[in-house]
Amino acid sequence: MSMDEQELVRQIQDGDEMAFAKIVNIYKDKIVNYLFQFTGDYQSAVDLSQETFMRVFFKANKYKPIAPFSSWIYTIASNLARTEMKKVHKAPTVSLDDLHNSYSSGAFSENPAQSGITRNIRQSLRALHPRYRIPVILKDMEGFSLEEIAQIMKRPIGTIKARISRGRNYLRRDLEAVLKEEDKDLEKKENSYGRA
């Protein structure tokens, strides 16, 4: 953690709103993106991000500088996301309409064009259990090291390694199954057009 961030956190602990605004500015995009990858819903990602920053302000006194601040904020975000998932308590499926809406309203995305494979991989990612999804996202999308992920998830590094490996395997298997189904559908369509 940089000295600036450490100083900002110390100021937040004293109730400084300006320091808090700076922290929000530094982390807003990262947290919103992480929660979007986790939940798959832009609006709930934004809401959860706001709640994350609220926790950062009100629980700042609980932060101890033994771990990087980024790990702490990602831990809060992960816990909130997991709680939200439990609350929603539904299968993590996304309809194409929802996807279309979220992308069309996502004026803030860098690359709104979604190919079929990207859509499939996102769907497979959402189907993963949070136990595997969190380390996979943190490692392969956010670029955290194993040590950092271990700090965020409060698990040993060995466990994190195993979860990432297992998560990738599940993802690969799911993706292959989805692709096979799509191929079959395509073949059926082609056959039906051929007959017509």
List contacts with other proteins (CB under 8 A).
17, 20-21, 24-25, 28-29, 31-33, 36-37, 42, 45-46, 49-50, 53-54, 57-58, 106, 108-112, 114, 117-118, 121-122, 124-125, 136, 140-141, 168, 171-172, 175
Instruction: Centre a 10 Å sphere on the Cβ of residue 93 and count the other Cβ atoms it contains.
Output: 10
- Closer of 55 and 67 to other proteins (Cβ): 55
CB of 45 to other proteins, least distance (A): 7
Tokens (6 digits) for 185: 């559908």
132-to-16, 101, 158, 175, 194 alpha-carbon distances in Å: 37, 27, 13, 15, 43
- Closer of 66 and 107 to other proteins (Cβ): 107
CB of 192 to other proteins, least distance (A): 30
Helix ranges (H only) for the chain are 3-13, 17-39, 42-58, 69-88, 96-105, 116-127, 130-136, 146-153, 157-195
Q: By C-alpha distance, which of 118, 120, 126 is closest to 179?
A: 120
- Closer of 4 and 190 to other proteins (Cβ): 4
CB of 124 to other proteins, least distance (A): 8
CB of 108 to other proteins, least distance (A): 4
- Closer of 50 and 75 to other proteins (Cβ): 50
d(CA 111, CA 86): 30
Torsion of CA 51, 53, 55, 58, to 10 degrees: -130
Tokens (6 digits) for 106: 């996502």
CB of 103 to other proteins, least distance (A): 8
CB of 59 to other proteins, least distance (A): 12
Contacts of 179 (CB under 8 A, 6+ apart): 117, 120
